[in-house]
C-alpha cells in the first residue's frame, strides 16, 4: 500500500515538513509495511521558502533591504540550484509592521525588489516570487523602483514610495531598468485570483486588513486604476484582466508589467518542483491539509491543488486540518467532490492557544483514528 502525505503548514504551530512527518510516523506505527511518500506543500505564502529549501536540499541567502515602512531589515530567500525562491512577506510583509503603524498609503514593496535584484546579481536563472502576506498596496511600484524603473508625476517630479503615489503617476521611465530581467525567468506564486482594482480588487478586498480606512480604500482603488492605465499606455501591458493581478496589493500586476512574470497558482508551482504528481500516480490514498480549512481553500490553496492532482489520477484524497470553518454545503459540488473527507485535529472545545500547543499530539491521535478506520474497511473488503 502507498499513501502520499502532502500537507501545508499549520500556521503558527507546525511547519509543513513537521506535519507530514508526524502523519507519516503515525501511519508507520500502525502498519510498518505501508509505503509513505512525503511531499510538504506551500502555496506561495509564508512558509514557501522553508518548505522548498527543506524538501529540495536548498540553502538560505540573506540581504539587507528596505522594510515596508522604509527601515532597514535583514531578509532571507531560498536558493535551490539555479533557482531563487523569494517570499515577499520576508521584505514587505504585514508581520513586519506594528498594528498601530499599518498604512498601505505609506508601505512599499521596495525591499522585495531588492531581494529580486540580489538574486539577479547572483546569476540566478529562474526566480519564483511568493506574494502572500503583504503590508502593501503600491501595485509593485516600490519593487520596480528597486529594479531601476522610475515613476514620475504630472510635473516630471520623481515619485516616492507607497500607495499614495499611484494616483500621481503619469510617466514610466525604463532606461535604467535592470538588464538581467531580460534573461531571467520569473514566476509569481499566488494563492488568489483577485483582479487589480474594483470591488474584488486589491484595495477593497485586502486594504482594510492592512490598515486602510474606507476613504483610503477608495483612494487606493482609484490609484490602482490610474496605475493600470499608465502601464497600458507606457508599456503596452494590459493589467485589467489578469487573474491574480490584485494579489499582495497589486504586486502581482507589478511583477507582470515590470519583470514579465507569469502568475500561477502557488500550489501548482510547488507541486511541480517537488514532483508531487509522480508520487501520487499509483498511490492508494492521499492525505493533505492546512492550519484552517475555509472557503478560500478551494480557490488556490494547497489542499485543493493536491486534491485536484489526486482526482486526476483516481486516487482518493482526504484532508487533516488544524480546524475546519466550512462545510460541503458551502462550496461548489465539483470542489467538494475532490475530497473524500475533511477532518480537524480539534475533537473538543478548547482555546486556540491550547490547540496550537498540543497540535503534534492532536494530529497524531486523529491520524491514528483515520488510518485505523481506513485499514479496517480495506480488510473487510478483502474478506468478502
Mean pLDDT for the stretch of residues 142-149: 98
Q: Give me the mean pLDDT over the 109-126 stretch.
A: 98
Fold classification of 48-266 (topology level): Glycerate kinase, domain 2 (3.90.1510)
Q: What is the distance between the alpha carbons of residues 331 and 307, in angstroms, rounded to a whole number?
A: 15
C-alpha cell at 15: 511547519
Given a cut of 60, whether residue 206 has pLDDT beyond it is yes
pTM of full prediction above 0.95: no
Q: What is the mean pLDDT of the chain?
A: 95
116: helix, strand or coil: helix
Judged against a pLDDT cut of 70, whether residue 40 lies above it is answered with: yes
> Looking at residue 52, what is its pLDDT?
96
Dist. CA 317–CA 303, nearest whole Å: 9
Contacts of 358 (CB under 8 A, 6+ apart): none
**pLDDT value at 372 more than 60:** yes
Average pLDDT over residues 110-139: 97
Report whether pLDDT(133) > 60: yes
* Burial (0-12, 13-18, 19+ Cβ within 10 Å), 314: exposed
- The angle subtended at Cα 17 by Cα 94 and Cα 43, nearest 5°, is 45
pLDDT confidence of 236, banded at 50, 70, 90?
A: very high
Q: How many CB atoms lie within 10 A of CB 328?
A: 12
Report the pLDDT value the prediction gives residue 380, as an integer from 0 to 100.
77
Task: Tell me what pLDDT residue 94 has.
Answer: 93
Look at residue 250 in the predicted model and tell me its pLDDT. 97
Say what the pLDDT of residue 191 is: 83
Q: How confident is the model at residue 119 (pLDDT cuts 50, 70, 90)?
A: very high
Dist CA 95 CA 92 (whole Å): 9
Confidence grade of residue 138 (pLDDT, cut at 50, 70, 90): very high
Whether 326 shows a pLDDT value over 90: the answer reads no
pLDDT at 36 over 70: yes
- Rounded alpha-carbon distances, angstroms, from residue 335 to 38, 45, 105, 152, 339: 24, 22, 37, 46, 8
Does the pLDDT value for residue 45 go beyond 90?
no
pLDDT band at 376 (very low <50, low <70, confident <90, very high): very high
- What pLDDT shows up at residue 298? 78
pLDDT reported for residue 13: 93
Residue 201: the pLDDT is: 96
What average pLDDT does the segment 163-178 reach? 98
The percent of residues above 70 in pLDDT, for the chain, comes to: 99
pLDDT at 151 over 90: yes
H/E stretch holding 251 reads helix 247-259
Domain residue limits, the chain: 2-39+276-383, 48-266
Cβ contacts of 244 within 8 Å, gap of 6 or more: 188, 190, 192, 193, 194, 252, 263
- Residue 46 is predicted with a pLDDT of 87
384 pLDDT above the threshold of 70: no
Query: pLDDT digits over 269-282, tens only?
Result: 999 999 999 999 99
Confidence of residue 48 (pLDDT cuts 50, 70, 90): very high
CA distance 21 to 14: 11
Q: What integer pLDDT is reported at residue 383 of this predicted model?
A: 62
Tell me the average pLDDT across 236-254: 95
Query: What does the pLDDT read at residue 336?
Result: 75
Q: Give per-residue pLDDT as tens, 255-302.
A: 999 999 999 999 999 999 999 999 999 999 999 999 999 887 877 789
Same fold for the pair 2-39+276-383 and 48-266: no
For 336, list phi and psi in degrees, rounded to 5: -65, -30
Fold that domain 2-39+276-383 belongs to in CATH: Rossmann fold (3.40.50)
pLDDT tens track for 8-22: 999 989 999 999 999
pLDDT above 90 covers what percent of the chain? 88
Amino acid at each position: 500500500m502507498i499513501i502520499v502525505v502532502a500537507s501545508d503548514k499549520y500556521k503558527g504551530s507546525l511547519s509543513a515538513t513537521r506535519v507530514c512527518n508526524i502523519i507519516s510516523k503515525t501511519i508507520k506505527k500502525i502498519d510498518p509495511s505501508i509505503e509513505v511518500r512525503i511531499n510538504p506543500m506551500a502555496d506561495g505564502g509564508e512558509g514557501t521558502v522553508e518548505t522548498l529549501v527543506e524538501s529540495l536540499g536548498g540553502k538560505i541567502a540573506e540581504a539587507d533591504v528596505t522594510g515596508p515602512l522604509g527601515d532597514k531589515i535583514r531578509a532571507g530567500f531560498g536558493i535551490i540550484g539555479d533557482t531563487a525562491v523569494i517570499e515577499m512577506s520576508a521584505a514587505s510583509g504585514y508581520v513586519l509592521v506594528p498594528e498601530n503603524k499599518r498604512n498601505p498609503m505609506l508601505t512599499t514593496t521596495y525591499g522585495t525588489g531588492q531581494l529580486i535584484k540580489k538574486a539577479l546579481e547572483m546569476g540566478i536563472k529562474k526566480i519564483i516570487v511568493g506574494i502572500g502576506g503583504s503590508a502593501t498596496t503600491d501595485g509593485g511600484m516600490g519593487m520596480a523602483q528597486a529594479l531601476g524603473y522610475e515613476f514620475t508625476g504630472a510635473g516630471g517630479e520623481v515619485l516616492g514610495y507607497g500607495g499614495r503615489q499611484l494616483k500621481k503617476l503619469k510617466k514610466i521611465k525604463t532606461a535604467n531598468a535592470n538588464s538581467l530581467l531580460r534573461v531571467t525567468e520569473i514566476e509569481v506564486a499566488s494563492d488568489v485570483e483577485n483582479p487589480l482594482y474594483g470591488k474584488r480588487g486589491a484595495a477593497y478586498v485586502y486594504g482594510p486588513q492592512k490598515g486602510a480606512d474606507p476613504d483610503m480604500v477608495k483612494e487606493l482603488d482609484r490609484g490602482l486604476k490610474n496605475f493600470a492605465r499608465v502601464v497600458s499606455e507606457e508599456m503596452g501591458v494590459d493589467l485589467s484582466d489578469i487573474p491574480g493581478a490584485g494579489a499582495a496589493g497589486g504586486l502581482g500586476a507589478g511583477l507582470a508589467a515590470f519583470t514579465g512574470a507569469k502568475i500561477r497558482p502557488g500550489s501548482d508551482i510547488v507541486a511541480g518542483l517537488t514532483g508531487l504528481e509522480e508520487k501520487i500516480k499509483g498511490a492508494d490514498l492521499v492525505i493533505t491539509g492546512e492550519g484552517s480549512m475555509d472557503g478560500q481553500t478551494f480557490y488556490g490553496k494547497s489542499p485543493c491543488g493536491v486534491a485536484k492532482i489526486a482526482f486526476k489520477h483516481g486516487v482518493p484524497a482526504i484532508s487533516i486540518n488544524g480546524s475546519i470553518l466550512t462545510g460541503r454545503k458551502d462550496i461548489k459540488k465539483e470542489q467538494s467532490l475532490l475530497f473524500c473527507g475533511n477532518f480537524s485535529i480539534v475533537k473538543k472545545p478548547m482555546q486556540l492557544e491550547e490547540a496550537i500547543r498540543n497540535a503534534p499530539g492532536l494530529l497524531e491521535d486523529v491520524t491514528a483514528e483515520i488510518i485505523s478506520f481506513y485499514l479496517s474497511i480495506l480488510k473487510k473488503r478483502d474478506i468478502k
